[in-house]
Amino acid sequence: MSDTPRDTLGRPIHDLRISVTDRCNFRCTYCMPREVYGRDFAFLPRAELLTFEEIERLARIFVGLGVRKLRLTGGEPLLRRELPVLVRMLAELPGIDDVTLTTNGSLLSRHARALAEAGLSRISVSLDSLDDAIFGRMNDVGFPVRIVLDGIAAAADAGLRPVKVNMVVRRGINEGDVVPMARYFRERRHVLRFIEYMDVGHTNGWRMDDVVPASEILSRIDAEMPLVQLPPQYSGEVADRWTYRDGSGELGVIASVTQPFCADCTRARLTADGQLYTCLFASRGHDLRAPLRSGAPDAALLEAIEAVWRARDDRYSELRTQVTVAGREVPIVDLDRVEMSRIGG
């Protein structure tokens, strides 16, 4: 078998996103709405989570198939105890060029330096507004902006600079914050990335009317701070990159809804309980934990993962865009799509 398998659409595997927990201390309306993830919601028992050693072993096997970048996600990954230990284990894997982390920033101030010292390459922080009231509507726990900003500053001070800041833009809630956010992070030389509101899973009440298209986001910024597009840094990059005309910073837009990038997607996703998913919008995963814990050798696990990847034909966003462009707001297919909190975005 080839060291670099390709799926049915010719896409290689290059990136692995690893969820380390399904728990989160936010209840963001686009990810873990409170009416679903309430006080009685049953999260995964600790025994069902992959151990750090199991994650490291699977990551090493993925390297053998061509993976070079690892991103740790959740839930909120910093809720997983001793996470810097896992970062160090993964950063030391031969063949891995990049170990990154996506966090809501709530616990970042206390962990930023340890993460950097463990070998974390970069960090992304989710922040949807600079206004406490608006941010509170998005995170639905009343969490203050200042603590997230302190976490971003701590990450930068620890050497994780520039920080990438992810802003999900939702019509009627925070589109008015697009320009203030761009201005704020331009001044601080961090990279702001705007994300179109997506229909991940079934719990967030997604409607096309709530999507603020990337073109509108860019137009709002360009009217006040003229922009110039940058070329992609590598094949499969999800964000379209832009710089300010005076060269004073960078921003990006992730337009999964209006400008889908399925054709270049090189990402696999591993849930906290060891399910392999080949698409953010997938309806089912492939269990790697059971063979892992039943004593399967590395060669058998590699063969199983490669078989899944070679059979991959996912292009959900392209199909969804065809539907929405046609003016229909109905599901493409009636699938029980995996929720964002399990698959980690």
Give the number of C-alpha atoms closer than 13 A to the C-alpha of residue 177, restricted to the C-beta side. Answer: 24
In a domain, 5, yes or no: no
Nearest of 27, 82, 9 to residue 49 by alpha carbon: 82
* Confidence (pLDDT) at 1: 43
Q: How much helix, strand and coil, in percent to the nearest 5, is found in the chain?
A: 35, 15, 50
What is the maximum span of the chain, computed from C-alpha positions, in angstroms?
Answer: 59
DSSP string, 29-78: TTTS-TTTS-TT--PPPGGGSPPHHHHHHHHHHHHTTT--EEEEESS-GG
CATH number of the structural domain spanning residue 304: 3.20.20.70
In a domain, 9, yes or no: no
d(CA 194, CA 28): 16
Provide the b/e sequence for 64-73 (b: ≥16 CB within 10 Å): bbbbbbbbbb
In a domain, 71, yes or no: yes
Task: List, for the chain, all residue ranges whose pLDDT scores fall below the cut of 50.
Answer: 1-2, 330-334
- For the chain, state the CA radius of gyration: 19
* DSSP state at residue 345: -
* Confidence (pLDDT) at 127: 98
- Beta strands 98-103 and 69-73 are parallel
Distance of CA 316 to the CA centre of its chain: 17
* DSSP state at residue 201: S
* Confidence (pLDDT) at 245: 95
In a domain, 224, yes or no: yes
Domain count, the chain: 1
What angle do the packed helices 178-187 and 214-224 form, to 10 degrees? 60
* Confidence (pLDDT) at 322: 67
Domain extent, residue 173, equals: 15-343
* Confidence (pLDDT) at 194: 97
Q: Is 101 helix (H, G, I), strand (E, B) or coil?
A: strand
* Confidence (pLDDT) at 330: 47
CB 277 within 8 A of CB 16: no
In a domain, 2, yes or no: no
In a domain, 185, yes or no: yes
**pLDDT by residue (tens digit) across 217-243?**
999 999 999 999 999 887 767 889 999
**pLDDT by residue (tens digit) across 87-104?**
999 999 999 999 999 999
In a domain, 8, yes or no: no
* Confidence (pLDDT) at 312: 93
In a domain, 4, yes or no: no
